[in-house]
Structure 1
């Protein structure tokens, strides 16, 4: 479980999960059949990839390692490149495919993804796609699918040359909104970062240089190391079973640093699961209380903390109303959010998130922030963080809190050197003194997730 995976699931209240449970009993004969099921679960039932895979876990785990890898590659490519894939399909049809023929489109998408981006031999991409068109309702459309896929195969280079691979693959509402916020040039850079499979970042308890050498990676900064793409299953790497490190994007490791030295401090990590920041604080010798409203997510946190041999108090409660007798020295609020900063790792979120999700989650964030003021002692620190690129979930939350509570809380601007000695880290500090990471930062090294964080002081 990665640090960012908590937002890809918990950030979507009301998500439909149970309706696909019936698919878990199926046993796809090949990766493409499973990918077709995953595609339907994501696009029609608004599930994350983790949820969709979880509902088909038996079928996935029954596959050989090579087939599991191809399954992940194909569904990831579909999510990253869906705009271009659909554009190619539309360009190769004389008339628009009716909405009711969505199953036909999904099969075409699988074939087109292989032909355009995966270098699958044309005969294999076409024939395996047509094999998925079973039953009288789909079999009758095989001639159409065959014609479209063969045309895509012939004209692939020309089709791609006429596309904008940054804009074409971004949802319209995101593109237009981010252009207004960050400018078109930066938005293009963010969009391009989403198209590349990211490297694997790990947070280590100690000796980052030694672990980087042992695992064949590099030290990003502090206790964070980076392994390049194709590192395989993290649980199979040295040090995992011994609890020496945990998976956590470099950007996700920064908010905890804003609390400064935490040894022996009482700290509440609110919305803590699956526990990346909890582990970071506990490894730094803080006395951590990990809080989350979901007992299911906290089960995973407990498993992670146990593997890491760390001592943490775990509490299941609603942090919007939680009250304590003894306020904490500091609070880290990693609020549930739309997770639009994590599309490089969870590209399916671009297909299931809407502005309405941002609006709904911003209300939850406001309640969490307000209640946090009562949880920290005077003079104590609050760090608010989200892995979102939306201002409603970041700086606008802080401005609202400061405006409504001028006698209770103030912003404590961060300094670049608090993040680490590397010069590029200064670019992550905003004019207000907040942290703002973008997926296009450090693009030559593989990028980082989008994060916002602000440090506050209780007056």
Structure 2
């Protein structure tokens, strides 16, 4: 008799998932940040909340931001290394290319050991060409490759700026983007004891980068606020009020650096901006510095003041290419269509702001842009259409050390200016006077 073997229930085989190496979540967040900037055109800082939502620790979020920012600073040079080590060119948005950018910038810039740099990015290409990523990274690191000391600008940006400002400016911009800039602060009054730093202008201190802002002397007391030296120029050009209680309209005011300058100088300041979140920062800054201003949330294309003001400062929304040292993502987001749209909006805002200046009053126009369309060309078109305004030439004594007025009367700051002291952002600023 044949006896069938007992029926034994099959035991399911469970394969435990391989845990990602420690540090992988920060690299995954960096990947999300780069995708947000390069594919969706989102600002790096604006992408942070969503991209780092899985990182509860602030230092992990800061590291993810640092990885993404350094990739954006050196993107053309990283891609040149990758392309030199692959037989076929990887698509610009391929995960393999993104993972290699993240791994290489850690090993070559941020000081991450190569084994940790590659181990923490391989999980980013699960289901993809892991062997390719590992092989290309190993080939490059064994060869001892280095990135150039001065990063290469994106080709479209370099071509545009070369036409506008010349090859020397492009070279200076490459040097300027190599590392985050120093920390500039504007003083409410006297500098608090122990603040240190150097001064490039009255009411200014420049401190070494990497300084923890909230730990500096005078922060809690509101003795100063963070503001690049170039960004302080527009409000400096208004000086003190022509008479006690004179009103200045600070348009596109948030996050409030210029508002605080004007309030500290004695102006009755009306700060107008359309962004609720940015106005919240402005109010926080006013509270900390114990300065007062009337804060208005409004769309400047619809809002109007009750009466003309003695002065109007329009720091217009722009492409922001002038702040590329702190925000390297702008070099990859500010395409010609963005610049054109910004210039169109600026023309509309300028026309409205001009109507709010009383006879004999002052209009200051500023843009943190290195594009002539948003500066020199913008003001040329405005002057042709508004014969009641004339340029009130800026004098050298009104400007920080190392920055001189343009012979045409306005101010244009470029990469390379005050480079020996840490440089400055790119700005265009003009002061106009309305006929009395």
TM-score after normalising by structure 2: 0.89
Q: Does 1:82 align with 2:79?
A: no
CA distance in 1, matches of 2:149, 2:197: 33
Question: Hey, what's the Cα distance between the residues in 2 that align with 1:260 and 1:229?
Answer: 29
Per the TM alignment, residue 448 of structure 1 is displaced from its structure 2 partner at its CA by 0.6
1:431 correspondence with 2:430: no
CA shift at 1:28, angstroms? 7.8
Instruction: Measure the CA separation in 2 of the matches of 1:382 and 1:334.
Output: 11
Q: How does 1:61-80 map to 2 (within 5 A)?
A: 62-63=56-57, 65=59, 67-80=60-73
SS at match of 1:132: helix
Deviation of 1:57 after TM superposition, in Å, equals 5.1
The match for 1:119 among 86, 108, 111 is 111
CA shift digits 1:304-362 (9 cap, x unpaired):
21222111111122223433342100000000000000000000111111011110010
Q: 1:152 aligns with which of 135, 140, 152?
A: 140
Q: Deviations over 1:270-326 (max 9, x none)?
A: 110111100110011110000112233222212221222111111122223433342
Partner residue, 1:20: none
Cα distance in 2 for partners of 1:71, 1:222 equals: 37
State how far apart, in whole Å, the 2-side matches of 1:39 and 1:188 are.
25
* Structure 2 match to 1:24: none
Corresponding residue of 1:454: 430
- Counterpart Cα distance in 2 of 1:97 and 1:418: 52
C-alpha distance in structure 2 between counterparts of 1:115 and 1:92, whole Å: 16
- Of structures 1 and 2, the one scoring higher in RCO (CA 8 A, sep 6+) is 1
For residue 193 of structure 1, report the CA deviation from its aligned partner: 0.4
User: Could you tell me how far apart the structure 1 residues matched to 2:91 and 2:201 are?
Assistant: 51
Q: 2:181 aligns with which of 198, 206, 209?
A: 198
Deviation at 1:220, TM superposition (A): 2.4
Greater Rg, structure 1 or structure 2?
2
- Are residue 36 (structure 1) and residue 21 (structure 2) matched? no
Partner Cα distance (2:149, 2:206) in 1 = 30
The DSSP-based 3-state class of the residue aligned with 2:318 is: coil
Alignment of 1:242-253 (within 5 A): 242-253=221-232
Q: 1: CA distance between counterparts of 2:161 and 2:397?
A: 28
Paired position in structure 2 for 1:412: 392
Structure 2 Cα separation of the partners of residues 193 and 239 of structure 1? 29
If the length of structure 1 is used for normalisation, what is the TM-score? 0.85
Q: Which residue of 2 aligns with 1:227?
A: 207
SS in 2 for 1:452: strand
CA distance in 2, matches of 1:195, 1:387: 19
Q: 2:319 aligns with which of 332, 338, 359?
A: 338
How far apart are the structure 1 equivalents of 2:336 and 2:231? 23
1:218 to 187, 198, 202: 198
RMSD: 2.0
**CA–CA separation in structure 2 for the residues paired with 1:378 and 1:320:** 22
Partner of 1:286: 267
Hey, what's the Cα distance between the residues in 1 that align with 2:50 and 2:225?
25
The number of residue pairs the alignment matches comes to: 412
Unaligned runs of 5+ in 2: 1-21
How far did residue 165 of structure 1 move?
A: 4.3
Whole-angstrom CA distance in 2 between matches of 1:114 and 1:39:
15
